């Protein structure tokens, strides 16, 4: 009789004051979870907490919470959809958690597909060691932080910290497509700051910038 597997979470770390970093493992094999626990327990850095999902839907749901520093994603999930599909779906939902793609298939084409889908690294299960896995985790987290900074610069206005024109154009397209698909109306509010030029002319552009930041904070709130 098959035994139903239950998602698990394990803290793997020596006692320390450092914040716990959470790793999500998406793998349909409990043996894979047990092996990963042992490898992560041997990391020189930490502390780490390993969380496990063994199904496609369960893994996607956990990944999209955004609560993890990194995700270890196995390509074989015993379902019609594989790890590549899960990664692409997560990225389409604008989840940018760093993902390390793991597989027993060493083909270069799969490596390239995984990286194009948004993986930070590609590891062949039969080849990676504990030090290599730890290096990959550290690298993925660092690269994820750098890409987050680039996304911030690409989508937010530096002065007001609100979405910029490029991001506005993307969002308005998304809202329009959602409105057409579900036949729901949506509203666009346009506003102006009265007499703003007078503020700049009378008090200078530094004060004008403060006014813009204040108005932006009111809108964000």
Task: Kindly report, residue by residue over 116-128, the tens digit of the pLDDT.
Answer: 999 999 999 888 8
Query: What does the block give as tokens for 136?
Result: 């990959």
- Contact yes or no for 50/37 (Cβ under 8 A): yes
Q: How confident is the model at residue 18 (pLDDT cuts 50, 70, 90)?
A: confident
- The C-alpha atoms of residue 19 and residue 46 are separated, in whole angstroms, by 8
pLDDT at 3 over 50: no
Spatial separation of the C-alpha atoms in residues 195 and 21, rounded to whole Å: 49
Closest by alpha carbon to 136, among 151, 157, 120, 125? Answer: 120
Domain boundaries, the chain: 9-155, 165-220
Cβ–Cβ under 8 Å, residues 99 and 120: yes
CATH architecture of 9-155: 3-Layer(aba) Sandwich (3.40)
CA-wise closest residue to 75 among 47, 45, 109, 51: 109
- Confidence (pLDDT) at 136: 94
Predicted structure pTM score: 0.68
CA angle centred on 2, ends 80 and 55, rounded to 5°: 35
pLDDT in tens, 59-97: 999 999 999 999 999 988 876 789 999 999 999 888 999
Which of 114, 35, 22 minimizes the C-alpha distance to 62? 22
Reduced to 3 states, what is the DSSP secondary structure of residue 149?
helix
Q: Which residue bears the tokens 């996607």?
A: 60
């Amino acid at each position: 009789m098959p035994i139903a597997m239950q998602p698990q979470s394990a803290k793997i770390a020596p006692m320390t004051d450092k914040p716990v970093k959470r790793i999500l493992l998406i793998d349909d094999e409990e043996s894979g979870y047990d092996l990963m626990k042992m490898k992560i327990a041997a990391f020189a850095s930490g502390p780490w907490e390993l969380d496990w999902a063994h199904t496609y839907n369960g893994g996607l749901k956990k990944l999209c919470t955004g609560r993890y520093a990194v995700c270890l994603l196995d390509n074989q999930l015993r379902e019609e959809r594989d790890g590549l599909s899960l990664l692409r779906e997560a990225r389409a939902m604008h989840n940018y958690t760093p993902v390390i793609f793991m597989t027993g298939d060493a083909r270069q084409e799969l490596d390239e597909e995984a990286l194009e889908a948004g993986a930070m690294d590609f590891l062949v299960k039969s080849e990676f060691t504990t030090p290599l896995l730890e290096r990959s985790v550290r690298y993925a987290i660092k690269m994820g932080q750098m890409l987050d900074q680039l996304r911030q610069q690409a989508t937010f206005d530096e002065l007001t910290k609100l979405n910029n024109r490029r991001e506005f154009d993307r969002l308005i397209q998304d809202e329009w497509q959602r409105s057409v698909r579900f036949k729901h109306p949506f509203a666009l509010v346009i506003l102006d700051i009265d007499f703003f030029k007078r503020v700049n002319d009378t008090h200078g552009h530094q004060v004008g910038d403060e006014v813009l930041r204040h108005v932006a904070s009111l809108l964000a709130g």
